[in-house]
Amino acid sequence: MDVEFDELKALDIWRRAIVKSVRLDAPDLSARQMSLLLTVYLTPPPHTVRGLANLLKVSKPAITRAVNRLTGLDMVRRKPDPDDKRSVLIQRTVRGSVFLREFGDLIVTAAKEESSSRDDVLPQRY
Amino acid sequence: MDVEFDELKALDIWRRAIVKSVRLDAPDLSARQMSLLLTVYLTPPPHTVRGLANLLKVSKPAITRAVNRLTGLDMVRRKPDPDDKRSVLIQRTVRGSVFLREFGDLIVTAAKEESSSRDDVLPQRY
DNA sequence: ATAAATCATTTCGATATCGGAACCTTAAAG
DNA sequence: CTTTAAGGTTCCGATATCGAAATGATTTAT
C-alpha cells in the first residue's frame, strides 16, 4: 500500500517533469539518449563507447548513434583518448550542463508541486 | 546551494531509474511518447488527440504517431468516441499498467538507493 | 440545406534510428 | 614481425519519425 502510493507519487512527479520538458520544446530524446547523457554527466569519467555499451547493455553502434545525436545537439563531445588512440572519450559540454540543470529544476519543481495544483492536468472539454 | 543539491539528487535518481529501464531492455520510448503514456495513465480521462496535442504543445500528427507507437506496444488503445464520431479516446491497457507499475518501482528503488550511497558516485560538478 | 469549423488521419519528401555484419585503426600477444 | 584482439565507426536494407499540407468524416453554425 505504502509502496504503491510511493510509486504513484513517483510516477506523477516523473509525469509533471517530462510533460513540462516536452511543452518547453526540449529536444525529444529517447530513453537511450537520455540515459547516456545523464551517465556522462553524473558518473565519473572516463566514458567510452565500449563502457557505455556495457553499462546500458546496448550495442556499440547504438551508442555511436546516441552520441551522434547528442553531439549534434552539442550536449556531449568526442575527444580522442591520448592514451589509447583507438578509444574515444565522451565528454560534457556547456550546453549539456545547462540542459540538465534546467531539467533537474523541472524535476524539483514537479516534486514540490506534488499534487497541489491540478490546473494543467484537466482535460480540455469539461 | 540547497537547490543545486536537490537538483543533483533529483537528476541522479532520474539517471538510476532510466539506466535500469534501458538495461532491462524496456521499449526505447521518446520523451513525447513517455509523456503521452504517463498523461493517459495519471490524469483524468477522457484523452483525445486534440487534448493531448494541446497539453503537450505538439502537433496532432505527432500525437497520432505517438499513439501508433504505443498502440503497437499494446500500452494504450484507441476507442471511438460514441458521443462524437470524429473523436477518438485514448485509453489504458493492462500491458501499459504493468509497464508503468514496474517503471514506478524503478524510480522508488532508485530514490532509496540514492539516499544511501551518493558520495561515491557523483562527480564534483556537473 | 448549405457552409464552415472541428477531429483525426494520411500523405509528402526528408531525416533518424534500427540491428547486425563488415570495416579500419590501433594495441597487445605470439 | 606477424597475428590476434580490441575500440569504434560505417555500411546495409528496413522501419520510424519529422513538420507541414491535404484529406475524409463528422459536427456546428448560418
**Looking at chain B, which residue has its C-alpha nearest residue A57?**
B23
Average pLDDT over residues A71-90: 97
Cα–Cα dist A12/A111, whole Å: 9
Cα–Cα dist A39/A33, whole Å: 10
- Percentage of residues in chain B with pLDDT exceeding 90? 84
Cβ A42 vs Cβ B124: under 8 Å: no
Cβ A53 vs Cβ A42: under 8 Å: no
Q: Is the pLDDT of residue A115 over 70?
A: no
**Ramachandran assignment for A89, one of left (phi > 0), alpha (psi -120 to 50 degrees), beta (any other):** beta
pLDDT reported for residue A4 = 76
- Average pLDDT, rounded, for chain A: 90
Cβ separation of B7 and A92 shorter than 8 Å?
Answer: no
Q: Residue ranges per domain, chain B?
A: 2-116
Residue B108 C-beta-side C-alpha neighbours within 13 Å:
17
Interatomic separation, CA of residue A59 and C1' of nucleotide C21, rounded (Å): 13
Of B39, B50, B58, the CB nearest to A124: B50
DSSP string of B53-98, one letter each residue: HHHHT--HHHHHHHHHHHHHTTSEEEEE-SS-TT-EEEEE-HHHHH
Cα–Cα dist A4/B43, whole Å: 17
pLDDT tens digits along B10-21 = 999 999 999 999
pLDDT reported for residue A5 = 73
Q: Is the pLDDT of residue B33 over 60?
A: yes
Chain B residues with CB inside 8 Å of A66's CB? none
Q: Is the pLDDT of residue B3 over 80?
A: no
A65 beta carbon < 7 A from strand C?
A: yes
Q: Which of A57-71, A103-117, B48-62, B101-115 has the lowest mean pLDDT?
A: A103-117
Whose grid coordinates read 540542459? Answer: A99
pLDDT reported for residue B120 = 40
- Average pLDDT, rounded, for chain B: 91
Of A91, A2, A6, A12, whose CA–CA distance to A46 is shortest? A91
Just give the CATH number of B2-116. Answer: 1.10.10.10
- The domain A2-113 having CATH identifier 1.10.10.10: the answer here is yes
Q: Is the pLDDT of residue A120 over 60?
A: no
Whose grid coordinates read 562527480? Answer: B123
Residue B119 backbone dihedrals phi, psi, to 5 degrees: -65, -30
Residue B77 C-beta-side C-alpha neighbours within 13 Å:
9
Cβ B87 vs Cβ B67: under 8 Å: no
Chain A residues with CB inside 8 Å of B11's CB? 38, 41-42, 100, 103-104, 107
Q: Is the pLDDT of residue A126 over 80?
A: no
Nearest Cα of chain A lies from the Cα of B26 at a distance, in angstroms, of 9
Interatomic separation, CA of residue A68 and C1' of nucleotide D13, rounded (Å): 21
